[in-house]
């Protein structure tokens, strides 16, 4: 007697309706046996496999899986053979990526005679986007990928040219943008200074723009708001100012650093609607790395100076720590001879004076060599209230001590450094002129920041102290104890330049106000 199939349940779709549903799914669907031989396939899958009847053919073969996907092929075959849900992404010989997902067997409880439903989806676009995002991020990480020694040998202009060359290379080859403009925001003036322009008209490159929402084009609007801007049709956009001749669309994103706008990145296309949401995502990813590279290389327009000024700064940076070593060694020896050999003490004091004079001589020579235009440019970024202030920085990390010299001396401070609490105490005891401020890490090799405070109070009485810590880590509770003792200014590393200078200004101002004479 012939077995009849059960009638469909009331309200359920008929077999023909089920087949129609399968035919209209966006995925390719196949019914295969445990050996991956196709028993039935919908039209979508047949079309992907260049048409024809797929029945009786091996599913993996008709998908054209590449030999490089051997592990994923084995995973799919084993899952089908075992009759369990599984899947994998197969790369085909023609460069596509196919996601293959198998279901549990249907039609029988026995995998040997069962039928397995396999869903096939083309995920090429998704995979290529993921790969491109990774490539863009990797490219961004190499924008300023130089060793400290290489950077030390480069002038500011050379660093700028390196960064511009790398940005253009990746913009063209990876992002496929041919027209590029980058401007940097001068915070004092609000002006957007051109850093890089490729494919822009000369008059557009020279155009004066400010970070304002009106009358400064799309670039000014983006810099003022911090929001990316699509211009899909330049002929109808009231904000657009012509940059590239014949451009029909543009895409502009802010360069962001620590949630602050430091500039803009603009690209343009001769085609209306020439950019997509994906282009926006790619450009924003790349722009974050561009902003980080600009910060790393200190390429902000306001910090440019003449070649002579750069040379003097490089010389000063090279001698700063060696001079500090001389000071610390001389002080350590002098303290042993005080009260025992006046002649040795006098000679050591002369060494100390000469060592301190070295940095001042370099500074005075630089002032004479540097053109007046460079002087005025530096003064824009200086804190005049800090000029001439004597600051002692105590930190075991050489990079922190180097940075202290570089950042504070730009504002005219006289900086000396020590590696531990003992060196700091010796410098304070023997200083001919008192320090206006002492900045110390909470974790020194020989004592905590709070213990240093107590030691310095024995010498000075009132201690103008600021504590530093990385990521808020304070195992000895130095910050809490120091605050209880009246020291409440703390720098959290890594700190921005403006945070450092603001804290130094505030601490010195408080110290002067607390002095009995009023300063």
Residues 486-510 pLDDT 10s: 888 888 887 788 888 999 999 898 8
Round to whole Å and give the CA distance between 278 and 436: 54
Q: Which letter does DSSP use for residue 258 in this model?
A: T
The packing angle between helices 398-409 and 497-514, to 10°, is 70
| pLDDT tens figures, 353-391 | 887 777 777 666 655 554 443 444 444 445 667 888 899
Q: Tell me the mean pLDDT in the region 82-110.
A: 74
At 9, is the secondary structure helix, strand, or coil?
coil
- Distances in Å between the Cα of 175 and the Cα atoms of 244, 246, 475 are 18, 21, 47
pLDDT the model gives residue 11: 46
Q: Which residues in 6-114 belong to E strands, given as ranges?
A: 28-32, 38-41, 86-91, 97-106
Residues 6+ apart with CB under 8 A from 197: 180, 181, 182, 204, 205
- How far is the CA of 393 from the CAs of 28, 121, 190, 268, 279, in angstroms? 67, 61, 33, 48, 46
Question: In percent, how much of the chain has pLDDT > 90?
Answer: 20
What is residue 156's predicted lDDT score, i.e. its pLDDT?
60
Choose from 68-82, 153-167, 213-227, 359-373 the range with maximum mean pLDDT: 213-227
339 vs 328: which has the higher pLDDT: 328
**Model pTM score:** 0.42
Q: Which of 13-22, 150-159, 421-430 has the lowest mean pLDDT?
A: 13-22
Q: Average pLDDT for residues 138-144, to the nearest whole number?
A: 62
Q: Which pLDDT value is given to residue 301?
A: 37
Per-residue confidence (pLDDT) for residue 419, from 0 to 100: 93
Domain ranges of the chain: 18-122, 132-302, 305-373, 382-519
Q: How far is CA 150 from CA 145, 154, 304, 310, 466, in A?
A: 10, 7, 19, 16, 33
The top-scoring range by mean pLDDT among 84-98, 195-209, 313-327 is: 195-209
For the ranges 55-59, 317-321, 423-427, the lowest mean pLDDT is seen at 317-321
Q: What is the per-residue pLDDT for 63?
A: 84
In the block, residue with structure tokens 């995002």: 133
Find, among 363, 506, 353, 359, the residue nearest to 437 by Cα.
Answer: 506
Measure Cα distances from 370 to 306, 310, 381 in Å.
7, 9, 16
Dihedral sign for Cα 238, 244, 250, 254, please: negative
Instruction: Count CA within 13 A, CB hemisphere, residue 472.
Output: 0
Q: Confidence class of residue 304 from pLDDT cuts 50, 70 and 90?
A: very low
Quote the mean pLDDT of the chain.
78
Q: In the prediction, which pLDDT does 89 show?
A: 81
Average pLDDT over residues 30-43: 87
pLDDT for the residue 1: 38
Most confident of 25-29, 163-167, 168-172, 259-263: 259-263
330-336 — which CB contacts under 8 Å span 24+ positions?
Answer: 330/355, 331/423, 331/426, 331/427, 331/429, 331/430, 332/423, 332/426, 334/430, 335/426, 335/429, 335/430
> Residue 112 has what pLDDT?
46
Q: Regarding predicted confidence, which is higher, 313 or 223? A: 223
Instruction: Give the model's pLDDT for residue 17.
Output: 55
Distances in whole angstroms, Cα of residue 117 to Cα of each of 29, 65, 87, 233, 265 = 7, 19, 12, 47, 49
Query: pLDDT band at residue 261, thresholds of 50, 70 and 90?
Result: very high
Helices vs. strands in the chain: H and E counts, helices first: 18, 16
What average pLDDT score do residues 443-449 get? 91
Nearest to 318 by CA among 144, 148, 65: 148
Architecture in CATH for domain 382-519: 3-Layer(aba) Sandwich (3.40)
Cα of 444 vs its chain's centroid, Å: 29
Asked, colleague to colleague, whether 18-122 and 132-302 share their fold, the answer is yes
First and final CA of the chain: distance in angstroms? Answer: 113
CATH 3.20.20.140 fits 132-302, yes or no: no
Omega before 494 within 30 of 0, i.e. cis: yes
Instruction: Tell me the CATH number of domain 18-122, given options 3.30.450.20, 1.10.10.10, 3.60.150.10, 3.20.20.100.
Output: 3.30.450.20
Q: Can you give the pLDDT at residue 439?
A: 93
More confident residue, 210 or 45: 210
* Residue 372: per-residue pLDDT: 41
User: What residues have CB less than 8 Å from 78, skipping those under 6 apart?
Assistant: 86
For the ranges 124-133, 349-358, 446-455, the lowest mean pLDDT is seen at 124-133
Nearest Cα neighbor of 183 from 125, 242, 265 is 265
DSSP-assigned states of every residue in 159-215: HHHHHHHHHHHHHHHTS---EEEEEEEETTTTEEEEEEEES--HHHHT--EES-SSS
């Amino acid at each position: 007697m012939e077995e009849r199939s059960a009638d469909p349940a009331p309200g359920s779709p008929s077999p023909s309706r089920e087949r129609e549903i399968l035919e209209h799914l966006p995925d390719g669907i196949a019914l295969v046996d445990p050996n991956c031989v196709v028993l039935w396939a919908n039209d979508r899958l047949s079309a992907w496999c260049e048409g024809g009847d797929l029945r009786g053919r091996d599913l993996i073969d008709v998908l054209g899986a590449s030999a490089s996907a051997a592990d994923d092929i084995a995973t799919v075959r084993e899952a089908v053979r075992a009759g369990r849900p599984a899947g994998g992404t197969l790369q085909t010989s023609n460069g596509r990526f196919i996601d293959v997902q198998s279901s549990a067997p249907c039609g029988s409880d026995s995998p040997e005679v069962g039928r397995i439903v396999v869903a096939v989806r083309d995920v090429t676009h998704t995979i290529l986007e993921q790969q491109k995002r990774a490539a863009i991020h990797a490219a961004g990480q190499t924008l300023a990928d130089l060793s400290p020694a290489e950077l030390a040998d480069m002038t500011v202009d050379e660093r700028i040219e390196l960064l511009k060359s790398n940005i253009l290379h990746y913009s063209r080859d990876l992002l496929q943008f041919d027209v590029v403009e980058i401007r940097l925001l001068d915070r004092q003036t609000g002006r957007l200074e051109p850093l890089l322009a490729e494919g822009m008209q000369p008059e557009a490159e020279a155009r004066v723009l400010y970070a304002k929402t009106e009358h400064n084009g799309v670039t000014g609007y983006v810099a003022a708001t911090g929001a990316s801007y699509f211009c899909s049709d330049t002929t109808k956009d009231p904000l657009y100012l012509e940059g590239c001749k014949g451009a029909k669309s543009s895409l502009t994103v802010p360069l962001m650093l620590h949630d602050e706008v430091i500039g803009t990145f603009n690209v343009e296309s001769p085609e209306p609607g020439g950019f997509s949401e994906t282009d926006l995502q790619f450009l924003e990813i790349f722009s974050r790395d561009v902003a980080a590279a600009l910060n790393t290389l200190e390429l902000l327009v306001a910090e440019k100076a003449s070649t002579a000024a750069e040379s003097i700064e490089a010389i000063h940076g090279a001698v700063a720590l060696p001079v500090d070593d001389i000071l610390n060694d001389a002080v350590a020896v002098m303290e042993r001879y005080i009260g025992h050999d006046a002649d040795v003490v006098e000679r050591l004091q002369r060494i100390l004076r000469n060592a301190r004079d070295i940095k001042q001589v370099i500074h005075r020579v630089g002032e004479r060599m540097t053109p007046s235009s460079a002087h005025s440019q530096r003064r824009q970024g200086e804190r005049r209230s800090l000029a001439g202030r004597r600051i002692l920085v105590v930190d075991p990390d050489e990079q922190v001590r180097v940075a202290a010299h570089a950042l504070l001396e730009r504002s005219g401070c006289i900086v000396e450094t020590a590696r531990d609490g003992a060196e700091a105490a010796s410098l304070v005891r023997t200083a001919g002129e008192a320090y206006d401020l002492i900045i110390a890490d909470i974790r020194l090799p020989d004592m905590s920041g709070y213990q240093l405070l107590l030691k310095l109070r024995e010498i000075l009485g009132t201690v103008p102290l600021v504590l530093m810590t990385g990521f808020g880590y304070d195992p000895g509770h130095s910050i809490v104890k120091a605050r209880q003792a009246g020291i409440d200014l703390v720098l959290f590393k890594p700190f921005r330049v403006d945070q450092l200078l603001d804290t130094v200004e505030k601490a010195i101002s408080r110290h002067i106000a607390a002095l009995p004479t009023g300063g």
